[in-house]
Amino acid sequence: MVCKEINKPFLDFAATIVVEILSPSTVIKDRNNKFYIYQSQKIPYYIIVDVDKNEIEIYHLDKEDKYQLDKIEPSGHYIFTLHTDCTAKVLLSDIWE
């Protein structure tokens, strides 16, 4: 999703949302190394999807640029604020279909 028109051949800015699908071979890297890298780069949202447990963890940056966990029911929805005037409402159950 893009909130505004981009007139460049490539993106030169960080993503607003990063989604990691856990697998046994990457779980430590996703929960540790990548978590701190994305936090240090001030990626507003970091989402970890655990398909084995049917869980979604949504981390968002707080006012001190530290991730806070929003644990959401897999059947619920979440509104991502992408920019001041741009939001995306995601029905999380759609992830499992």
Provide the pLDDT for residue 39.
96
**Per-residue confidence band for 33, with pLDDT thresholds at 50, 70 and 90:** very high
Q: Is residue 50 part of a domain?
A: yes
Q: Is residue 12 part of a domain?
A: no
- Range(s) of the domain holding residue 37: 17-96
**Two structure tokens written together for 91:** 């029905």
The predicted-structure confidence for 42-93, as pLDDT tens digits, reads as follows 999 999 988 888 888 999 999 999 999 987 776 778 888 888 788 888 887 7
Q: Is residue 48 part of a domain?
A: yes
Long-range contacts of 51-54 (CB under 8 A, 24+ apart): 51/21, 51/22, 52/22, 54/96
The tokens 């029911």 sit on which residue? 73
What is the model's pTM?
0.82
Q: Is residue 71 part of a domain?
A: yes
Structural domain count, the chain? 1
**Two structure tokens written together for 62:** 């707080």
The tokens 């960080």 sit on which residue? 14
C-alpha span between 24 and 22 (Å, rounded)? 7
